[in-house]
Amino acid sequence: MRRRTGTQADPATHAEALDSVLADVVGLTGASVGLLFLLPPGERMLRLTAASGVSRRIAAPWERIPVQEHIPVTDAMRQRRLVWLNSQEELARRYPRLGIVLPYDFMLAAAPLTDDETVWGGIVLLWPVWHPPQLSRAERETIEACCRRGAGVLREAAGGGRPPLSGDEPRLLSSPVPRESDPAQAAAALGFAQRLPVGCCALDLDGRITFINSAATDLVGAGAAVLLGRRPWEVLLWLRDPVFEDRYREAVVARRPTSFTALRPPDTRLCFQLYPDHSGISVHITPSSAPGTSPAADQVGPECEPPPPRAAQVGATALYNLTHLASALAEAAGVRDVGELVADQIVPAFGPSAMALLAAEDGRLRVITHRGWPGELVDRFDAAPLASGTLTAQVLATGVPRFFGSVADLEDDRLEVSYLDTMAAWAFLPLFASGRPVGTLVLGYDRPHPFAPAERALLTSLAGLLAQSTARARHYDAKHTLAHALQNSLLPRRLPKLSGLSTATRYLPAGDGLDIGGDFYDLIRCDPGSAVAAVGDVQGHNPAAAALMGQVRTAVHAHATGGAPPGDVLARTNRLLNDLESGLFTSCLITQLEPGRRHARFATAGHPPPLLRHPDGRTEVVDVPPGLLLGIDPDAGYTTVRIPLPPGAVLALYTDGLVEAPGVDLDEATGALVRELARAGGREDLEDVADALVRHARRSAPRHDDIALILLRTGASG
């Protein structure tokens, strides 16, 4: 690949280079589908940037993915390794949500776009089931090489200050076509297809008809002018059943022939056989045998399944998108999380050009999130009183959804439209949970949009699902606010400023639950020449653990202020915990600092060891004799050790949330943290070092435990 010289990166050139990476990895590995995801700098939302071998409609549920999601590409990014799924059964077992939305037979690989320092995104590849159950060595090496190449492109783009993210929609890579086409052969092929006595047509990957012969138009009862450029199930009423669209989706995703039988009124049964490849789908249409009889002797390809008992009106894609959204909302926490998830899913997956989610708060409707409308327009209906005459308030007051397929429909009702003047059709959906008003969902369409009864039912179901999630998220937010206030009251508001010592601290609650736990840190001034740093972890993630943490921190503070050595501080605190009989155990690390004397004294009660970065960059784990956890044995003793602490050294005290995670080897994780401190510890600002260590922990594994961190550098003024 040619690289541009100069300081200014060209986003178009880098985007083309990434497209080339995706095209190459798909072509060289024989994958049927390829998806390229990028993580914009500073964001927590993964974006689908380019796709090959699949339509945007099918890929829509994954255009925006929170990085904390549990799906193959985010797992590959967190673990920095390739994830391989060799069967539908394994996919459903490890990723049940993905198995629900794509219940087809295929194999999948997800690999991270990463270099030594940064995870830039990931690539997902799909193969048909006739691929061997394991990737070959050559395939793995190809995937890894292409990912390294992609990371290099992104590193170069970042160096120019303009990452290669173009537009809000993913780029769809076109299938390779022959460089030269013979007009005579094309005409001959067209004549051949028109002379066939059986029906045949071609669909692109988006399901639209690109060719249909005369026999097929006769069989389906519609002319080519009506059908070309349209999806069959959108034009032919008797094909509007989710089963039929689902067979098309299966053909595209699984790259395997599929079939179905449809009943064309009044009594004509037609068999549709679908044969997919990377460029589209060939469809063979023939009259079907009557029920109970054998298929024609000359029939080839997949045997046609009987038609479903009745034809519904909602497409399979819409139903799958609704299911995907439901499972995603089940994992959303606060109202803001729900709002962002809905905004990122509804617009690409359900067809509107714009949306706004409003929540009822303190007698007003306030905008939680929106997409597609300019901010100044949204401001016009933000904070509208619930008693106002706006449509957003009216539908919430009545509980009845309102659908307007055009501006004329809206004007016929003599309703105010000034704040909706950028759209041509609207849906206003009230949100109720357990009979209580929650808010309003507004959807806008940039073209007139007739809302069929089935679509109205689907959107109403969507509103009910969103209302339940929003109500649950409100309860979560209320509990989170209370927990946050309690946690903050138990941690020191600020650390004392000490001569010859600079500090930085971080506290991050676990990713789940009430965001409250038993981790703590403290820095205690003892006398002008010494201080005590403490970090600890009380068992549990609940108010009881937090309350005990406050008692432990108070006890440590009192004993350390009296000048007791670290081992004695732990012994006295241990006796207090045993007297309290809380049933909870506590780990704790005490460090007594005397910067003027260039040494520190340590004692530990079952706590992760401290890390020490020397001024020359050498970084090590400090060897402190282990002691029993506090709260187990009232007579336990704790040893104090003395360690040299030269000026300019950085000392890191932390809780196990910084290194522990399910499936992660503790020694390897601690070693990785040592290396990260060695790289980052030389920065002048200790706050930057703390940020680097936390980012490292987040990259390495999902956060399942609280993190408390205190960094200390000697030889600097606080």
pLDDT of residue 342: 75
- Only one residue has tokens 């009230």, namely 430
Mean pLDDT, the chain, rounded, equals 81
Name which residue leads in pLDDT, 105 or 53. Answer: 53
Greatest mean pLDDT range, 52-61, 318-327, 656-665: 52-61
Tell me the per-residue pLDDT of 327-374, one tens digit each, with 9 for 90 and over. 667 666 677 777 777 777 777 767 788 888 888 888 888 888 888 888
Phi-psi region of 50 (alpha: psi -120 to 50; beta: other; left: phi over 0): beta
- Only one residue has tokens 């780990």, namely 587
pLDDT of residue 525: 87
Q: Is the pLDDT of residue 200 over 60?
A: yes
The pTM score is: 0.54
pLDDT of residue 122: 95
Query: What number is the average pLDDT over the span 571-593?
Result: 88
Tell me the per-residue pLDDT of 79-122, one tens digit each, with 9 for 90 and over. 999 999 988 767 766 786 676 677 788 899 999 999 877 889 99
pLDDT of residue 481: 67
Greatest mean pLDDT range, 81-90, 210-219, 411-420: 210-219
Q: Is the pLDDT of residue 285 over 90?
A: yes
Reported as a pLDDT band with limits 50, 70 and 90, residue 437 is confident
Tell me the per-residue pLDDT of 490-514, one tens digit each, with 9 for 90 and over. 677 778 888 788 899 998 776 544 4
pLDDT of residue 309: 43
Reported as a pLDDT band with limits 50, 70 and 90, residue 594 is confident
Lowest mean pLDDT segment, chosen from 17-26, 232-241, 411-420, 521-530: 411-420
Lowest mean pLDDT segment, chosen from 510-519, 575-584, 610-619: 510-519
User: CA-CA distance, 138 to 140, in Å (whole number)?
Assistant: 5
CA dist 513 → 509, 520, 540, 543, 706 (Å): 9, 18, 11, 11, 11
pLDDT of residue 58: 85
Phi-psi region of 399 (alpha: psi -120 to 50; beta: other; left: phi over 0): left
Percent of the chain with pLDDT strictly greater than 70: 81
pLDDT of residue 480: 66
Kindly state the helix (H) or strand (E) to which residue 348 belongs, with its residue range. helix 335-350
Residue (of 179, 166, 232) closest to 17 by Cα position: 166
Phi, psi of 316 (to 5 degrees): -65, -40
Reported as a pLDDT band with limits 50, 70 and 90, residue 33 is very high
Do residues 347 and 321 lie in contact, with contact meaning Cβ atoms separated by under 8 Å? no
